[in-house]
Amino acid sequence: MVEPATIATAFIILGILLLLIEAAMPGFFIAVPATVLVLLGLIAFAVPEFDLFSWQAPALAFVIGLPATVLTILAYRKMAPATAPPTTMSGDRLVGRECVVTRAIEPTSSKGKVRLGLEEWSATADAPIEVGARVRIERVDGVILRVAAVEPL
């Protein structure tokens, strides 16, 4: 049979590894089982009569897991507070805005691309438009913008 100290050590090491993974890639919510493993391992070392193979271990894991879950949720909320609610932009709000062609636009094709702010959109037009030209959005057909060249001043 495996020594209780060996299992306790394995719990602590595994818990620390999970905490490191959570620190490197937050959001997987493995901080809770990691905390439970580390604390169970430390308790097994500190209290020699504690038996990791009895009913005590799952009961203690549950008792540790509840506050660990609550504290983890509170920590995540503190680290990444809620921002403004997401907004949806309807096609009507795009009409009239100007953007720049990033891939040549050909009539009857939606392979052309324009950059609008930080986003790139598929675009089409009635006439060919070269890369770098400024265009104005005339209408929106689903996710494809219908654009027209803006006349230079």
In a domain, 85, yes or no: no
What total of structural domains would you count in the chain?
2
Same domain, 26 and 74: yes
Domain of residue 95, CATH code = 2.40.50.140
Same domain, 113 and 141: yes
Closest CA to 37 of 64, 56, 55: 64
In this prediction the pTM is 0.50
The two structure tokens encoding residue 110: 């939606």
Residue pLDDT tens, the chain, 153 long:
678 788 889 999 999 999 999 888 877 778 888 989 999 999 988 888 888 888 888 898 899 889 888 888 888 788 776 676 666 666 678 899 999 999 999 988 888 999 988 889 999 999 999 999 999 999 998 889 999 998 764
DSSP 127-153: S-B-TT-EEEEEEEETTEEEEEEPPP-
Identify the three-state secondary structure at position 42: helix
In a domain, 43, yes or no: yes
